[in-house]
Structure 1
Amino acid sequence: MNSVKWLIRILLVFYLSHFSFPADTISLHHFIQDNNHQVIVSSGNTFALGFFSPGSSRNRYVGIWYHQIPDKTVVWVANRDNPIKDTSGILRIDGRGNLALFHKNQTLPVWSTNISTAGTRNSVAQILDTGNLVLVQNDTREAVLWQSFDHPTDTWLSFMKIGFNLRTGLNQVYSSWKSPDDPGVGNYSLKMTQGVSPQMVLYKGSNPLWRSGTWTGKRWSGIPQMTQNFLFRDSFVNTDDELSFSSDAKNASLITRWVTKETGVTQRMIWNNEAQSWIINAVPTEQCDFYGYCGPNSYCNPYLGDFECTCFPGFDPNHPKHGT
């Protein structure tokens, strides 16, 4: 090999090693552009991060979706209330070390992780096989500066939580999309309540629609389907530092999600690979599931026929024709 070819090879190796990057990472030298149809994909090909348009909309959003499920199933959206109207979006590490979404040549970001402690352009963003997007320091990859799991949209995945970090004030709430064409914050939200008997509550605006009941030590009292749970590892934490609930798939190959829908229900979904479809369980499913359906002095029994509501002893129905 002559000296010229040798020098070219050395320079090429140096160039590729200096500017190469993992396929799951956004760094200072690697950003993704919407007009180039670029995405990053987690190391196990489970999740992808990139630009998308929901439903029939032409608006552009940055989101995370399952990489190997045929229909694009989005589980997280960055700029859900701030869409970009064209394909000029760029997602990159900015000068302060934050992951930020920019529109055309504008200097102010459309969306940003906005962490004041990032403080360095050495940050990298990485999409993990759990579906979590993390911002870390490139030299250590240990301390997580920011993560999407702390800022959920409508979808609850394994290893995510619902509830409160009582030290930092973080409140993990799952809010519906406005519509299948608009991932903006919708009318419905699934939250953990605080107090003597914490429970999960589905709200429409500020009005409760459904509640899980209190934690019995093994399950939520209002979800009898949890009695024999062979698929999920459920954990309820109530300490001075944290009030939370998590429900993780015991089998890592199980694809599952819990979605707060714009239709006013929350759905637990499991992917059936053979049928190429989701197995869905939803609440509320019947009238007795709705919060306060029978009023304060009666109880609801769905097996009573036309009149599900029965007054407690000592009380009479306000509406005899309806049984309450």
Structure 2
Amino acid sequence: MDVRNNPWIMPFVIFLCFSLKPHVSLGADTISANSSLSGDQTVVSAGKVFELGFFKPGNSSNYYIGMWYYRDKVSAQTIVWVANRETPVSDRFSSELRISDGNLALFNESKILIWSTNLSSSSSRSVEAVLGNDGNLVLRDGSNPSLSPLWQSFDFPADTWLPGAKVGLSKINNRNTRLISWKSKDNPAPGLFSLELDPNQSQYLIFWKRSIQYWTSGEWNGQIFSLVPEMRLNYIYNFSYVSNDNESYFTYSMYNSTVISRFVMDDGGQIQQQTWSASTNAWFLFWSQPKTQCEVYAYCGAFGSCNAKSQPFCDCPRGFNPNSTGDWYSEVFSGGM
């Protein structure tokens, strides 16, 4: 067929070029000293389980460096870790994630450093960042990968607890590895709610603003948390508790490694156990605690009224209006009246 004699061919070819734009990837699981990540580029774990790159949450106009399940595993983009939670960028194409001075570092559109692994620099190290199939982003000495990681994202979780990661206390550096909720579905900055290990007992606590405790899991009895009876039905997770001179923590693994599951400290103040359902292409909520939103401390904010039998749960008493109508319609009620 002569393209010159068919005026429909060329526009059709141009349309295909744009509509079938390929996914841009670095083609590896590693960011090395001579590579960087910008725009729509991503790195993908070796087994194509997790992907790392720039993303834009919800209706936000900001971009963040984050990690999500690879699209063949979970069709709905589900963010499990965020690097620059409090310092977004506005232009992902002119921003850059790269190795700099022995660290993994993010530079914004003005080439200003806005996030880093913040390690003491060492020019003698051949540093590289590797994304594992477990969802752990590891900074390591590329000349000797068998050494302990220089830094790992498992030590700095956002709102999600993945299998194999620890949530607990380091007794050496007094660091508390906790889950902290997003501010809202559109903003991954640290929110009001956190899940952390009780420093005195083998139980978890949920705090409001890291100061007011409003929920406890009850102590661990070797199989379940005493105040989470739903765990008796749990055929998905294998929990274990470790306490020694160096650290105390809980971790878990999957009885069936093909099952995709996670724990989330939700922006509504509940800790949730979720499992991906391939048949419905959605996350299935196995259990959540506290059981109702109205049990979450200050869920409706100052002067707000909470009713677990209504939708939405929060309402304004007569004579009051929300402090932020926009937040209210986005189901962020913590601003109150």
Q: TM-score range by the shorter chain?
A: 0.7 to 0.9
In 1, Cα distance between equivalents of 2:52 and 2:129: 11
Asked whether 1:31 is paired with 2:36, we answer yes
Contact 1:93 1:121 in 2 (8 A): no
Contact 1:28 1:121 in 2 (8 A): no
State the partner residue of 1:283: 289
Give the superposition deviation at 1:287: 8.5
What CA deviation, in whole Å up to 9, does each residue of 1:6-26 have, x standing for no partner? xxxxxxxxxxxxxxx861100
Give the superposition deviation at 1:226: 2.0
Contact 1:283 1:289 in 2 (8 A): no
Asked whether 1:179 is paired with 2:188, we answer no
- Letter of the structure 1 residue corresponding to residue 251 of structure 2: S
In 2, Cα distance between equivalents of 1:76 and 1:288: 27
In 1, Cα distance between equivalents of 2:117 and 2:42: 18
For residue 227 of structure 1, give the secondary structure of its aligned residue in structure 2. helix
Alignment partner for residue 143 of structure 2, among 139, 148, 161? 139
Q: Residues 225 and 288 of structure 1: is their aligned pair in 2 closer, same or farther, counting only changes over 3 Å?
A: farther
State the partner residue of 2:20: none
TM-score by length of 2: 0.75
What CA deviation, in whole Å up to 9, does each residue of 1:49-82 have, x standing for no partner? 0001100111010000011222210000000000
State the partner residue of 1:90: 96
1:256-275 pair list within 5 angstroms: 256-275=261-280
- Letter of the structure 1 residue corresponding to residue 280 of structure 2: A
Q: Residues 288 and 237 of structure 1: is their aligned pair in 2 closer, same or farther, counting only changes over 3 Å?
A: farther
Contact 1:159 1:246 in 2 (8 A): yes
Taking only the aligned residue pairs, the percentage that are identical comes to 39
1:303-322 pair list within 5 angstroms: none
Alignment partner for residue 189 of structure 1, among 171, 185, 194? 194
For residue 54 of structure 1, give the secondary structure of its aligned residue in structure 2. coil
Tell me whether 213-222 or 171-180 shows the greater mean CA deviation: 213-222
In 1, Cα distance between equivalents of 2:95 and 2:121: 25
State the partner residue of 1:312: none
In 2, Cα distance between equivalents of 1:250 and 1:183: 30
Give the superposition deviation at 1:121: 5.4
1:27-66 pair list within 5 angstroms: 27-34=32-39, 37-66=40-69
- Letter of the structure 1 residue corresponding to residue 172 of structure 2: R
Contact 2:193 2:206 in 1 (8 A): yes
Indicate the structure (1 or 2) with the bigger Cα radius of gyration: 1
What CA deviation, in whole Å up to 9, does each residue of 1:81-124 have, x standing for no partner? 00112222100001x21100012353x41100011165445100
In 2, Cα distance between equivalents of 1:263 and 1:287: 7
State the partner residue of 1:244: 249
Alignment partner for residue 234 of structure 1, among 230, 239, 249? 239
State the partner residue of 1:321: none
Q: How many pairs does the alignment contain?
A: 266
In 2, Cα distance between equivalents of 1:235 and 1:118: 36
Contact 1:47 1:66 in 2 (8 A): yes
- Letter of the structure 1 residue corresponding to residue 130 of structure 2: Q
For residue 161 of structure 2, give the secondary structure of its aligned residue in structure 1. strand
In 2, Cα distance between equivalents of 1:137 and 1:266: 36
In 1, Cα distance between equivalents of 2:42 and 2:95: 13
TM-score by length of 1: 0.78
User: Which runs of no fewer than 5 residues in structure 2 stay unpaired?
Assistant: 1-25, 298-337
Contact 2:69 2:79 in 1 (8 A): yes
In 2, Cα distance between equivalents of 1:216 and 1:243: 15
In 1, Cα distance between equivalents of 2:196 and 2:28: 35
Give the superposition deviation at 1:168: 2.7
For residue 110 of structure 1, give the secondary structure of its aligned residue in structure 2. strand
State the partner residue of 1:116: 120
Tell me whether 204-213 or 223-232 shows the greater mean CA deviation: 223-232
For residue 82 of structure 1, give the secondary structure of its aligned residue in structure 2. coil
For residue 154 of structure 2, give the secondary structure of its aligned residue in structure 1. helix
Contact 1:98 1:118 in 2 (8 A): no
What CA deviation, in whole Å up to 9, does each residue of 1:195-236 have, x standing for no partner? 1x3310111111112110011122211111223533211101
Give the superposition deviation at 1:237: 1.3
User: Which runs of no fewer than 5 residues in structure 1 stay unpaired?
Assistant: 1-20, 292-324
State the partner residue of 2:80: 75
Q: CA RMSD in A?
A: 1.9
Give the superposition deviation at 1:163: 0.6
- Letter of the structure 1 residue corresponding to residue 46 of structure 2: S
In 2, Cα distance between equivalents of 1:238 and 1:23: 37
State the partner residue of 1:100: 105
Contact 1:118 1:145 in 2 (8 A): no
Q: Residues 121 and 241 of structure 1: is their aligned pair in 2 closer, same or farther, counting only changes over 3 Å?
A: closer
Tell me whether 164-173 or 115-124 shows the greater mean CA deviation: 115-124
